[in-house]
Structure 1
Amino acid sequence: MTSMWWLKSIDVLTTSAGGTIVAFGDSITDGSCSTVDAHDRWEDWMAVRLDASEDPAARRAVVNEGIGGNTVIREHLQPAPTITPGVERLERDVLSHAGVTDVILFMGTNDIRREATARQVIAGTQTIIERVQARGIKIHGVTIIPRHNRAPTANNSGWTPAKTQTRNEVNEWIRSEAGFDGVIDFDQV
């Protein structure tokens, strides 16, 4: 059995110019399917690379605000999520951190899995973008990666060609119209 102590965050007074990057997402950000106790989530690797930079301004703290099963929105989802969606936890989990300079937003797959339309995911994501940018913080969108075709279960109607089309529509919006300060195209990796 393994266990991990939970520490929400630590604010550190520093003379460093770096700032903080918040990775805001679902189970992929949280570290689902990563190696237990190995700290090998995508944002862990990003933190290692930033810390190794010879440019002190490039060094940043990276905060993981991923929650397994998280969605962008709550409305329209079947069944309704029991976890606070991104638009509702943004203030608490992202904007309340000190020194945030950048947010990496990686959500949407669980909305689509729960029958949200592209328009609904886009509307919720747009709200997050606007709220983050209103604080003078840069926000970078991550495209939604493909899912395997899971058979239906009690809380999952399965991944269908229609859901893949919804994912493709959201990804095209992320790449071309969303107004993110940057795009990380995991879908193309």
Structure 2
Amino acid sequence: MKLSWRRVGASLLVTVMGAAGLVAAGPDEQVRTEGGGLVTTWGAADDIAGGTLSDMTVRNILRTSVGGKDLRIRISNANGDQPLVSDSVYVGRHDSGASVVPGSSRRLTFGGSTTVTIPPGAMAISDPLPGTVPALTSLTVSLHVVGSTGVITAHNRAMQHSYKSTSGDHAADESSTAYQTESSAWFFLNAAIVEATRDVATVATLGDSITSSVGTTIDTNRRWPDILAARYAQLPDPARLAISNEGISGNRVLGGIAKAGSAGPSALARLDKDVLTKPGVRTVLVLEGINDIYAGASTEQLIAGYRQLIARVHASGRCIVGGTLTPMGSSFVYTPEKEAIRQAVNTFIRSSGEFDGYVDFDAATRDPANPSRLAPAYDGGDGLHPNDAGNKAMGEAPDLDTLRCN
């Protein structure tokens, strides 16, 4: 089953990010957002990083999917055990490494204040930053931690370096001098939100390490959701969709709880927080289940989990599209019995009609000579995680109409 939508002609988004900041100047370069709404142009799911942070600044790097105006940043202390306090949060255009394009850094406020205190289990959204932000643009979000964090809410295995500073507030620094430590996690960063054109919405990709795209080249934005975002960026304004990547490495549909170094809470447990509360989400694309099969879930149990995801997404007034599970035949997960479960689950996704459509990631990545395995050109080395080429094939697999929920 495939969803359909109207193609409406409109001008392409043409903006520039000047040295003076994130704002695009000139009347012909403004993002057209009349009658628009808030959408999540970038997102990440909350997990837990080990250790604590104390009186230092973290610099995260994100890449927008669609452009828009009035940027807002959502900061999360969802898994924290004490208040998260920051007195300095800046956003700028990413240059290279930990450096910011000179003159592009701007301070965020929260309810008019430069200081924000986020209780354990809560999030905070910044005030809108006036001006426009282009599509497919890398931004820095730098946050100074006051005192000690306790448990750190973070997104592990981000396939993007972030940076920790030496002691003190270095959020406004545009040079990389103070940022001496690399990390592979996004710290406290949950979403980037913009006001986009009226017909633009967000697709949330709910998944595990294959959606987080473990196995791709770090700092290159070669995750399959990034490839999908780039495809939508080529379309006229009203036909575009934003992409919010809600994968967590090791995640399962049915099991898992949040703890340091964990695979995050299950998809069923985190659906509301990580997906349905993200502004503008219209479609959920779920690619998850390999870790459930590895953990011993049966076909019936996994399908029951999918049916709960379907029911809850539909009850929220949104669409849900299923992604077939990619091959695992030469990985540590594989046994003939587990492969039979994968095949049965994929048959359900393709033919049950319970999802609002499906994307055949299995067909896009399998070896024609041995369909239980990834194609050799797509194998990241462990028989389970697709490499850059495999992620490109996955990002090109969705029919763009299928993800447009009417």
Between structure 1 and structure 2, the one with the greater Rg is 2
| Contact preservation (8 Å) 1:103, 1:138 | yes
- Equivalenced residue count is 177
| SS in structure 1 of the partner of residue 196 of structure 2 | coil
| Pairing 1:35–2:217 present | yes
Deviation at residue 74 of structure 1 after TM alignment: 1.6
- Aligned residue identity for 2:253: V
TM-score (ref. length: structure 1): 0.87
Change (3 A) 1:112 1:178: farther
- Aligned residue identity for 1:26: D
| Pairing 1:62–2:62 present | no
Matches within 5 A, 1:25-174: 25-54=207-236, 56-74=237-255, 83-151=264-332, 158-174=333-349
Deviation at residue 31 of structure 1 after TM alignment: 1.5
Q: Counterpart in 2 of 1:78?
A: none
In structure 2, how many angstroms separate the alpha carbons of the residues matched to 1:57 and 1:118?
39
In structure 2, how many angstroms separate the alpha carbons of the residues matched to 1:150 and 1:59?
36
| Contact preservation (8 Å) 1:101, 1:138 | yes
| Contact preservation (8 Å) 1:149, 1:160 | no
Deviation digits for residues 53-104 of structure 1, max 9, x if unmatched?
A: 13x22212100000000000028xxxxx753110000000000111111111
Deviation at residue 136 of structure 1 after TM alignment: 1.4
> When you count helix as a share of all residues, which structure comes out higher?
1
| Contact preservation (8 Å) 2:321, 2:357 | yes
In structure 1, how many angstroms separate the alpha carbons of the residues matched to 2:335 and 2:198?
48
Percent of pairs identical after alignment? Answer: 38
| Pairing 1:187–2:358 present | no
Q: CA RMSD for the aligned pairs?
A: 1.9
Change (3 A) 1:185 1:94: same
Structure 1 unaligned runs (5+)? Answer: 76-80, 152-157
- Stretches (4+) displaced over 2 A: 1-7, 13-16, 148-151
In structure 1, how many angstroms separate the alpha carbons of the residues matched to 2:233 and 2:324?
25
Q: Counterpart in 2 of 1:4?
A: 162
- Aligned residue identity for 1:29: T
| Contact preservation (8 Å) 1:70, 1:86 | yes
Change (3 A) 1:25 1:48: same
| Contact preservation (8 Å) 2:325, 2:342 | yes
Q: Counterpart in 1 of 2:11?
A: none
Deviation at residue 16 of structure 1 after TM alignment: 3.4
- Aligned residue identity for 1:147: M
TM-score (ref. length: structure 2): 0.42
> When you count strand as a share of all residues, which structure comes out higher?
2
| Contact preservation (8 Å) 2:197, 2:238 | no
In structure 1, how many angstroms separate the alpha carbons of the residues matched to 2:217 and 2:201?
28
